[in-house]
Amino acid sequence: MSTKLIVAIDGPAAAGKGTLARRLAGALGLPYLDTGLLYRATARRVLDAAGDPADPVAAEAHARALTPDDLERADLRTPAVDQAAASVASLPGVRAALLSFQRQFGQARGAVLDGRDIGTVIFPDARVKLFVTASVAARAERRWKELAGRGIAVSLQSVTDDLEERDAADASRAAAPLRPAADAVILDTTSLGADQAFQRACEIIDAIKKSAGPAPRTR
């Protein structure tokens, strides 16, 4: 069991967990890891090699060959990578290949990590577990605006459809399906701005750190 402070932030795509996690890491003085980038980078490598993201042998090989430079690429957040990342993330071999990297990152100094199985699989003993979520409509609008800001022209309906497909794939996969940990605090950001979500998360973390155990699970 890790003795360092681990803040595990899980949730579906475009719920705001990445923005929140980065801000919390800065406030807490902890390293930050966007674990979704590991799967995106793996997917990008598979696509670059003209491979099939659903091919378990190829995907696992690319996962094991990841380098820090792969995580710095500017083309990891495109609709094509979104879909490919969902495919590679469903493969047990890929998840196993990336598990030790994530654990070593957090165990070194403590960390804030966001993803989809941080509190359930990667760090089930994490002191702080948040499950950040929002309505599909709110998440789709956020992702659509994000893509538009990067010059990627897609329809809001297309983004909504992609998110619904991703949600279904994440929730139904055999390997580490997306779900809140039993002791996670649910943070619904549908009607919260970034500052409000950050303030609420800080309140939750303060309560947990002052208590003898995790904060009660709330909605």
pTM: 0.85
Produce one character per residue of 4-19: b if its CB has 16 or more CB atoms within 10 Å, e if not.
Answer: ebbbbbbbbbbbbbbb
Measured CA to CA, the distance from residue 208 to residue 40 in angstroms comes to: 32
The alpha-helical segments, DSSP class H, found in 90-131 are 92-109
| Mean pLDDT of successive 10-residue stretches along the chain, which has 219 residues | 82 94 97 94 97 97 94 92 91 93 91 95 96 97 93 94 91 88 96 96 93 53
Q: How far is CA 198 from the centre of its chain?
A: 17
Contact 154, 79 (CB under 8 A): yes
Contact 106, 5 (CB under 8 A): no
Residue 166 has a pLDDT of: 87
Residue 1 has a pLDDT of: 43
Angle, vertex CA 85, rays to CA 145 and CA 194, nearest 5:
35
Q: What is the CA radius of gyration of the chain?
A: 17
Question: Given the structure tokens 């709330």, which residue do they identify?
Answer: 218
Query: What domains, with CATH codes, occur in the chain?
Result: 6-210 (3.40.50.300)
Contact 133, 70 (CB under 8 A): no
**Beta strand extents in the chain (DSSP E only):** 6-10, 32-34, 111-115, 128-133, 185-188
Q: Nearest-CA neighbor of 14 among 129, 150, 162?
A: 162
Residue 215 has a pLDDT of: 47
Measured CA to CA, the distance from residue 175 to residue 113 in angstroms comes to: 19
